[in-house]
Each structure stands twice: as C-alpha cells, then as structure tokens.
Amino acid sequence: MINHISIRNFAIIEETKIDFEDGLNIITGETGSGKSIVIEAISLALGSRADSAYVRYGAPKAVVELAGELDGEEIVITREVSSAGKNLCRLNGQLVTLTQLQETCRRLADIHGQYDNQSLLNPDNHIRLVDIYHQSEISPVRQSFDEAYRTYHAVQSKLNQLLAREQDNLKKMDFYRFELDEINKADLTPGEDEALNEQISLLQNGEKIFEGIETAYSLLNDGDTAASSALGSALSSLQNISGFSKDIAAVTEDFADLYYRLEDVSSSLREIRDRITFAPEELDSAIARISLIDNLKRKYGSSIEEILAYRDKISEELEQIENFDEIKLQLEKETAKAFDVLTAQAARLTEVRKASAEELGSSIEKELHDLNFTSARLSIDFQKADVIGTDGSDIVEILISTNKGEPLKPLVKVASGGEISRIMLAIKNITGTYDNIPTMIFDEIDAGISGITASIVGRKLKEISESHQIICITHLPQIAACGDTHYRIFKEETDSSTFTTVERLSDKKTVDEIARLLGGENITETTRKSALELMELTKQKFQ
C-alpha cells in the first residue's frame, strides 16, 4: 500500500505532503483546484513518463517521494525531473532505470482514469482481460503458443527468402560458376604471395646478392688470411692453456662458442650462394604468378585468405542454388509441420480462454448487478480470425445488454459514459482481487453518474476497500460520504503566485466538505445536517 507522498515544485504544487491510510481515501476539491495533479504526481512516482512541463515555473526541478509497503517490506521511491528535462529514478536510495521502477510499481498500485474507460471500448483490449483472468492457467499455454508462433514464422521467413531469391539465383548461377572456377584454377595457398614477393626480390637482385655473399664467404674461408682459419688457430692456442686458469677456461669456452657460431654462419652463406640463380624464366614465372594473385585480390578480396573465404561462400550459395528444389521441399515440409503445431497451440489457447471468459463474464455480470445494472446481461464473444496472429486465432469482444429485453451488443455501441465507469469499476474489482495489487487509484470514477447510482458506486468502493487500499478523487457527496479518510485540495493565491494545498480533514471539516458538495459554495446548517445524515446512513450500511 501507499503510506506517504511528498510533492515539491510539481505543476502548481509548491510543497505538500499526504499520509494515506488503509481503506477508502477520498480526495475532493473544486474544479481546477489540482485534484488530478496529485494523481499525476503519484503516477510519476509509480513509473509514468517524466516531462519537464511538470516542473513548477521558476523552480530548478520537481521532486516526488513516495513511501509504501510491498510484500511486507518498506519501499521508498524518488522521482526527480529537472527543468532541463533530466530525469532520475531512485528505489530505496539506489538509482534504477524507469523500466526497473515500473516492474516494481505495477505490483504496488493500479491507476484508473478516463483513458482506461476509452481503452475498454476498444475490442482489441478485451482479449487482455480474458488472459489476465485465470492467468496461472492461461500463461503456460500462451507461452507454448508464443514459442510455436516464433518457430513457424522463422521457418516461413526462410522459405519466403528462398522463393524471393529464386529468379535472381538463376541469373547468378553461371556467374558464380565462373568465379569459382577462376579461383579454384589458381590453386592458392595462404602466405604464397609473401613467399613469391621475397623470391622475386632475390631473383631481381641475384647478381648483387651473390657478390656480397661471395665476398663475405671468401673473407671467412679463402686464403692464408681467412678469418675462419685465424680464429681456429686462436681457439687452439687458448685450449692449450685453458687448464691453467678458470678465467682462461671461461674465456676459451666463450671464444669456442663464437667460433662455432661463425662456422654455422659460414655454412649458411655457402648454402644461400649455391641456391642463387640468374634464370630469367624463373623470374618471369614468379612475376606472372604474383600478377595472377593480385588480379584475384582486386576481384575477390585484399588477401589470399579473403579470396578463399569468398570462394567458400559462393560455393555454398551455388550448392543451394543447384539444390534449390530439394531445399525448397524441405523448408515447405518444415513450414507445414510448424503450422500444424501452431494451429494446435492456437486451438488449445482458445480452449482455455473460453473457459476463462465464461467465468469472467459471469463475475462481471454479478458485479454489474451490484452496481445497479439490475437487468444487465454480459457475454464475452469469440470469433475465429482469418489468420493466426500474435494473440492467437481469437477475436474477443465484450457484448452487453443493459436493459431487459434488449439483445447483446458490442460494448462500444451500448454503454454511456456513466455506464462505462461502472463497468470498469466492476472489472477492476475482479482483476484487482485476482492479481493481488494492494492499492487501487481512481481518478473521477464517478464521471457520468449521479443519484442512486452514485451511492451504489460509493458502497462498491467501500466494499473493495476492505481488501484493497483505495485512493479516489470524486466530486459526488454520495461517494465522498463512504470514505474512511478525507482530503481536500484547494488553491491559495498571493500577489505573484498560485499554490495548491492538500489538507487532511477532521470529522467536522469532512462534514463541511460533503455539505459543500451537496449545496455548493454557501454551507448552511441544512446542508450540514444533510451531509451528516448521508454519512450516518452510509456507516449504517457497512456495520
């Protein structure tokens, strides 16, 4: 339930605080005093979209804080909206997203306003009422249907894409075959281009490379002054004396390592020298090969790896094109099978919905009888849709007859504004009990009603408040007289500003407020007595 709300710089409210109680909380006030602004502030705290227009003129930001209880635990919600449009949501002091806040708040309170009346007239929303009622039975079936729907449309989409590409694929077939043949004939090897470029560099500079290697090799190995021979003699001299000193032995070991490494270098130089050739035909062959690879890169990818990846891709597509009929047949079978499953799940969903709708219709009809629709009859009609949609194969619509002898007709063609308010109240009573929402908020549920009907609606709200906290804005004394706690909203003006204030009324002030609702601006002893009598009669009916 909602225990407390604090509102600062919200619309024409500078600052006000309201402590709500269990039972039926009544809010009244003159037209234009700001009653709906309080509901808008509560709605903002409960997760509605923020708008910088909410910020009081001249203030940097609007702040709404709401404290309540949910599932036995205290919660505190804070919404801040700056004049620049920045929006912050906090739950128990922690920043949360609007979605996270909404997930929590939809279990805390349900707000009903004039928009809900209009939504009730839209048959597209009637199926939602059926699915909410007996949700525990319908939800698993709905989940199975949703899965079947996704599966069917996924495989159907594959089939449609295949069929859409049929003519285009026939045009691509010859082109793909040419590309695939060109790449395959090249017989590419990853890294081949790098090796070829190195080979070409060697071949193009072979004479210069040969001379350099030959000179280095000769200096190491040829003649009496060869470096290798001199180093070998030096190593032999050191080895003859290495046994006399550890230091000499260590130096000899290092020197030997250098000598043998130089021997390896000399051997490598000889091998490279012996491989160097000056064959023009070998150079021409390497240049032609790298030219072929570069040409393929310009067509199919910037590297050999990309060319081969493109080859694999068109090979797979070509295989699909060449096996089109086989793939098409397989997808047609999968689509037909998925459709059969979808049809069966839709039929099962219809079955559980109809059982729910029959009970829901009876429950609403009983509530309507309690709300002075003594002759009302209500039925929830099912029609089969031409195609299975996201909600199944059902077209659901509430049919009603409000007068004896009249046939059942669509709700939109029968109900007046006051009747819609009562029908919505009946539905809220049923669904509110079913989904265990602790707080129900009604913004002018009394639209279009008066007299005896208003008294009946008041008693129904009082009845609902025995199991739910009710916050109700009203302008009718018959409903206000049923309240457990009463609040009055009024405006105050200074030379430069207008303020909306909310005050909790004492018993005496409650009598005066109901007298005002009965008699207008001038409150007399007669209207006070009428107000007191109305309140006493209401209390007697609930004792």
pLDDT in tens, 125-178: 899 889 988 888 999 999 999 999 999 999 999 998 888 777 677 777 888 888
**Are 7 and 106 members of one domain?**
yes
Among residues 270, 296, 322, the one where a domain terminates is 322
Same domain, 35 and 107: yes
Q: Residue 453 above 90 pLDDT?
A: no
317 and 173 within one domain: yes
The predicted pLDDT at position 418 comes to 66
Tell me how far CA of residue 73 lies from CA of 19, 47, 69, 387, in angstroms: 18, 19, 5, 46
Give CA–CA dist 17/475, Å, rounded. 21
Tokens 């004896």 belong to residue: 404
Q: Are residues 312 and 437 in the same domain?
A: no
Is the predicted pLDDT of residue 278 greater than 70, yes or no? no
Give the pLDDT confidence score for residue 543 in this predicted structure: 61
- Please report the pLDDT score of residue 76 as a whole number: 95
Q: Are residues 182 and 245 in the same domain?
A: yes
Reply yes or no on whether the pLDDT at 121 is more than 80.
Answer: no
- Considering the domain architecture, whether residues 179 and 317 belong to the same structural domain is answered as yes
Domain-ending residue, one of 296, 322, 348:
322
How many domains would you assign to the chain? 2
The pLDDT value given to residue 238: 85
Which residues pair with residue 504 across a beta bridge?
487
Tokens for 81?
């909206």
User: Which of 323-327, 391-395, 428-432 has maximum average pLDDT?
Assistant: 391-395
Nearest to 411 by CA among 433, 396, 392: 396
pLDDT band at 39 (very low <50, low <70, confident <90, very high): confident
* Tokens representing residue 260 in the block: 């043998």
Containing domain of residue 42, as a range? 2-121+415-541
**Confidence at residue 224, expressed as pLDDT on a 0 to 100 scale:** 67
Please say if the pLDDT value at position 117 is more than 70.
Answer: no
For position 287, what pLDDT does the model report?
Answer: 87
Q: Specify if 154 maps to a domain.
A: no
Whether 172 and 56 share a structural domain: no
| Partners of residue 70 on adjacent β-strands | 73
Asked whether residue 115 falls in the same domain as residue 181, the answer is no
Contacts of 510 by beta carbon, 8 Å cutoff, 6+ apart: 483, 486, 535
**Unique residue bearing structure tokens 């029908």:** 423
Distance between CA atoms of 296 and 294, rounded to whole angstroms?
5
Instruction: Out of 30-34, 60-64, 422-426, pick the least confident.
Output: 30-34
- 65 and 190, same domain (yes or no): no
Q: Choose the final residue of a domain: 300, 322, 344.
A: 322
Residue 496 maps to a domain: yes
Model confidence at 114, in pLDDT bands (50, 70, 90)? low
- Of the candidates 27, 33, 39, which has an alpha carbon nearest to the alpha carbon of residue 485? 27
Residue 352 in any domain: the answer is: no
- Is it the case that residue 344 has pLDDT exceeding 90? yes
**Does the predicted model carry a pTM greater than 0.75?**
no
pLDDT more than 90, % of the chain: 33
Q: List pLDDT tens digits, range 287-311.
A: 899 999 999 999 998 999 999 999 9
CB 478 within 8 A of CB 455: yes
Output the pLDDT for position 417: 64
Q: What percent of the chain lies above the pLDDT cut of 70?
A: 95
User: Residue 115: is its pLDDT beyond 60?
Assistant: no
Average of pLDDT values for 177-183? Answer: 90
Tens-place pLDDT, residues 90-99? 999 999 999 9
CATH of the domain at 31: 3.40.50.300
Does 27 map to a domain?
yes
Whether 185 and 77 share a structural domain: no
pLDDT at 449 over 90: no
| Mean pLDDT confidence for 13-32 | 89
Whether the per-residue pLDDT at 421 is higher than 80: the answer is no
Strand order in the sheet with 409-410: 377-389, 392-401, 409-410
Greater pLDDT, 208 or 40:
40
Note whether 176 and 311 are same-domain residues: yes
Is 107 part of a structural domain of the chain? yes
Please state, as a whole number, how many other Cβ atoms lie within 10 Å of the Cβ of residue 264: 9
pLDDT interval class at 263 (50, 70, 90)? confident
Q: Average pLDDT in the 363-384 region?
A: 89
How many Å apart are CA 78 and CA 66, to the nearest integer?
A: 6
* Rounded mean pLDDT, 209-228: 78
Note whether 310 and 177 are same-domain residues: yes
What is the SS3 assignment for 390? coil
